[in-house]
Structure 1
Amino acid sequence: MRFETNIRYDFVNNRKKYFMFSTILIIIGILSLLIFQLNLGIDFKSGTTMDSVAERSVQQEEVIAVLDELGYSEVPTVGGTNNDRISIRFGEELSNEQTRDIQTAFKTAFGEETSFEINVVSADLARELAIKTIWAILAASLLIMLYVMIRFEWRFAVSANIAILYDCFVVVALFSIFRLEVDLPFIAAVLTTLGYSINDKIVIFDRIRENLRFNPAKNEKQLVELVNASIWQTMARNLYTVLTVLIVTVFIFLFGSESIRLFSLAILIGLISGAYSTICIASPLWFEFKKREKKKKPTGGPVRQPDQPIV
């Protein structure tokens, strides 16, 4: 079997290295989640967010000083065109009296026309959001698996689903390890990762299926060559697709506002992980399933019984 493709690196025969690296990362992620858990924002735990617009430009140190006088240790975010926007997230549900005290102190320090927007998340609402988020990710992965199974076959579906769940877990694990805040935009980023990741895998699986149709592999060596050729035939397309989104995401992360910085970082991690898992996990996993199937098949020809004479 020969393909008109320059196979510059053998991904399939080096699959155990990638499986080992991915397994180690999963173990580290699980340990981090068990020990440190996730740094949940108030979207997933009770708390209060206060966004205000001051009459003048303010410095972060000024806001910290006002909060310190009131007995709060939260670190505010100051931004906006004129540095007049203040965003504070409190780890508790503030009472009406506490809210009024903060508003009075802010108006005294930053002007009487300072405006406020306050959002309170109760513990019940936070718990409900967390449960719905888990169900959303599970439902999305299940529907993707069914789609791939209908369009291709179960081996492609299982390989793709393992790979995309790995991508999602990598994002969650890294946010846990580096103690980055998890909020609703983070969940949107994880679901976006699912979409981009399955797109890459569909492209390469379609090429594998096409190559199998015109060049059926008769043994394991030919199957290795087929999968490697399929990877390199789609390599440019997958990399260009990922790089296009990656460049935009990097610029959003570097120059975007604080409110979407972690969202763009989560997508950035998901894109890199998705490109890696498509080549180094999904395709080799399919090869493992297909190889086992070929080993189970009989080699062909009638099987002679022990007492049957040889003609």
Structure 2
Amino acid sequence: MNSKPVYVLGSGAIGFPLAAYLARAGRPVVAVRTRSPHVPRGTVTVSVDDGAERVSAEVETVSLSGLGGLEGTMVVAAKAHANPAIARELAGKAAKGPVVILQNGVGVEKPFLEAGFPAVFRCVVYATGQAVSEHEFRFRPIASSPIGVVSGTRPGLQACVEALSTAQFPFHAEADIQREVWKKALINSVFNSVCPLLEVDNGIFVRSEAAAGLALEVVRECLAVTDRLGLGLSEAEVMAQILRISRGSDGQLISTLQDIRGGRPTEIESLNLEIARVAASLEPPVPLPRVELLGRMVLLKSLQSAGKGTRPAPG
């Protein structure tokens, strides 16, 4: 598999650093622009600063619409709201190879399963990225990122891990990926709602006792769902991870706040709002008033920033 290209779909604050590290390691990689339909095939210099060193690499880039036959590992690093369109386009191009989804959220793999891709893997990314300019990024790895099987085989999973891992951006195989997916979703339901609403960086939870208390309330609501799903998550481990991430904050703005300020859609519908939807679908339903309200407030703020939420309310 390492001889076949890695196509990184979604060239942003996670996708471009991944592509740069793979290119620097001498692996064939193409950064695919999913939001820009008219990017001609060419090469750009991508620079990544991880705090310890700054690296630059020449990365081939092209728009998704400009790609012909695709055969290789397809890494989806775009925002989750684009998944249905990406899955349709890849299926229309008869793309061959595994799909590895590098996204936050619950259920984001569904469009690829519905499109009939036989090998779909989920990755929980433990890293932060922020664009300094179009091709320059700050990137902070937090820990090795787990990848697990949604559909496919263990050998296929191991091949994907080997194809994507570098010293700067490591991955590992994970047997229980849904537990990891939900754990990260709970963590993101805190960071990606509270931080953008307060317009602060993710260090707020160690700076403010009140913010840490709100985080605990959100986590406890979410755990009522994961307990029903039998995922075995504990309040102590989730809160410890939230505080560890917050303690290591370097002042970077959370991606949701970056998206809101840029007038772009956010991931909140696959985080707080999807968690609330799953909770409501259980029998009996599990009420998540804080989780859902915070999600709805972020969605409204996002729509207003994009100019789509300013119409008078009915009545």
What is the TM-score of this pair, normalised by structure 2?
0.22
Q: Which has the larger radius of gyration?
A: 1
What is the TM-score of this pair, normalised by structure 1?
0.22
Higher RCO, 1 vs 2 (CA within 8 Å, ≥6 residues apart)? 1
